[in-house]
Every structure is written in C-alpha cells, then in structure tokens.
Amino acid sequence: MPSSIPDDFTAGGPYTGRIACLYSDGEFLYAGGWHMGVFRTADGGQWSEFNQGLQGYRDVMALAGDGRSLYAGTFGGEVFSRSNDHWTLAHDFGDGPSAVVRAFAIWNGGLLAGTGGGVFFSRDGGRLWTQLWTGQDVSCFSFSPFRHAAFFFGTLGHGLGVCDPGGRNCRLISTYTSGKTIDALAADSSPPAILYVAAEGDGLWGSPDGSTFRSLALHPVAAETYPIALFLQGKKLFISLDGTGLLTKDTATNDWPVKLSFPIAITAIVAHKGRVFFGTDGIGVFAETPRGFAQVNTGLLNFPSEIVEETLRGDPRRGHR
C-alpha cells in the first residue's frame, strides 16, 4: 500500500478506507470500519457520514439491522442502536480484549453479539444480555442449514462453535480439527445443505452435517492462500483471498467461473440492489462489474482517488466499468 495513505482518522473528515463490515437493509448500504463510525449510500454513487450520537473512537467492527433499528458494535466494546436519525449507546461490555464486539446477527427475535468474551443474546435492542457461550474472541456467525443446530460461530484461535436450537448447549465442535482462526462462515440450506468455513492459514472447509469436515480446494490458486471473507448469493459463493483477490464458485456445478485479482485484503462482501459490493483493508469500497470491479468511494475517503489507482496499478482489470 502506498505510504501516502494516512494511518489515522482525520477528525471531522471522511475516512481512510479500512472497512471492517458492510450491511444492506435494502434501501441503503452501510459501511463501518476503523476510526470512521458508519457511512451509508443509496446506490454507491455518494457516501454520507451517519454518525450523529456515535461516540468515542468509532471503530465499528459489526453492523446489523432488524427492520426497525440498526446496530453497530465497536472495538471498544460498545453496542449502539439507531432509530430514526440518532445513535444511542445501548450497552457497554467494558474494557479490554474481552469486550471487543466483532460480530452481530439478528436471530430468534433478538440480537446475537460475538465478543472477546463469548456469545451473548439480547431481546430488548441490546440493553440487557444473556451469555450463551463463555469463551474468547468470537469472530463471525452463520445460521445453521441443519435442523439439529441453531447457529454456528467462529473464533480467532479457538476453533468453530455451535449452539443447539433455542441457543442451548453452545460449545466448540471437537470434530473440527483444522485451522483454529475462523475468519468467515457461510451456509447453504438448499439441498444438499453445507456449511462453509474459512480457516486462516488452512483454507476453505465444508461440512454436510455440522460435525464432519473436508477441505475444499481453492482452484485455481495455491492452497496456502488465506480465505478471509465469504458471501453466498444463491449458488454463487464469493471467497476473498488475502492480498490475492476474489474467487467465485458455482456450488451447483462445482465450477470456478471467475478469479478477480485484487492486490490487498477484501474484508467484507455483501449484495445491495442487485450488485455485489466488497470492502477493503485500506482503499474503501468496490462494486462488481461485468468486466471486473469499480471503486465507489465518493464521499468516503480522505485521500484522492488517484492513490487508489496507484494501489491497483498492475491489475489489468482495475477500474473497468
């Protein structure tokens, strides 16, 4: 990455481009990240800051919504809820590594939170919480495609976990013995059901039942390439590879139709209004196009778009629209 990209947030201005999470409510696409709080856009054409009432350093790691409220979780352990046009601090998990909020999911009429101290569940908009699993460094969630489980959760260094229906008996899965740092999960509930697991340093894994796992070759790239984000759209699985690019796999035919080269980490992937958007670790947000990708950063970055082009230089697909 060019050294001219600033490392820190510029107070009162747009953001440096380190996206941690993306979320679409159908009307708006939201982006959260380091020192930025939350920005939103209707269609990728223009971003606007969305931070009234959001306090502190505004390192937003997780976003989720239930149709009534939007939720933001921070590296500092805060849970903010937003109704209408103002953020409100709903809960503070405290200080230190056990408080970090890295993942949200709307589940069972409430909100799941993955924190540095385990899995928590709230039925009242994030004010009061019940701890479902006492552990460390929860990184992601996926709803279960199997009847015997409610949801799965990944951790940073401790493996893969599961909760039974109703959120009971949450535990680590002893039969999962591959990479212990889980960066992303995705589940396909249509037959044949499968859970996808992105294991840092150990590739992509699949499970047909939640208890047996097999390695899935990341063709056409080398096995040592690290998957760090997953997104399933129908039978099309998007797999972000750290510093290499984006793979798409047709899970119905087992074909790999596209390998989109990209020079830095793609950290989040989401669909919004019929387009696939992905966030990056340093140069903002991009949208998939028929011939590759295009940056959609107007109003989001606090450095010129030319710096993004410098970062992408050498990729023959960069900037194609």
Its domain, for residue 208, covers 47-273
293 lies in a domain? no
Q: CA separation (Å) from 319 to 43, 133, 290, 312?
A: 18, 44, 11, 9
- Specify the pLDDT at position 314: 59
13-26 pLDDT per residue, tens: 456 679 999 999 99
124 lies in a domain? yes
14 lies in a domain? no
237 lies in a domain? yes
227 lies in a domain? yes
Task: Provide mean pLDDT across the span 56-80.
Answer: 93
CATH at residue 230: 2.120.10.30
What is the value of pTM for the model shown?
0.91
Number of structural domains in the chain: 1
320 has a pLDDT exceeding 60: no
β 86-92/110-115 pair status: unpaired
105-150 pLDDT per residue, tens: 999 999 999 999 999 999 999 999 999 999 999 999 999 999 999 9
312 lies in a domain? no
Round to the nearest angstrom and report the end-to-end CA distance of the chain. 23
Instruction: List the structure tokens of 215.
Output: 């390695």
8 lies in a domain? no
Of the listed ranges 11-20, 83-92, 248-257, 292-301, the one predicted with least confidence: 11-20
Instruction: List the structure tokens of 281.
Output: 């670790």
| DSSP class of 225 | P
In the numeric block, the tokens 């489980």 are attached to: 149
204 lies in a domain? yes
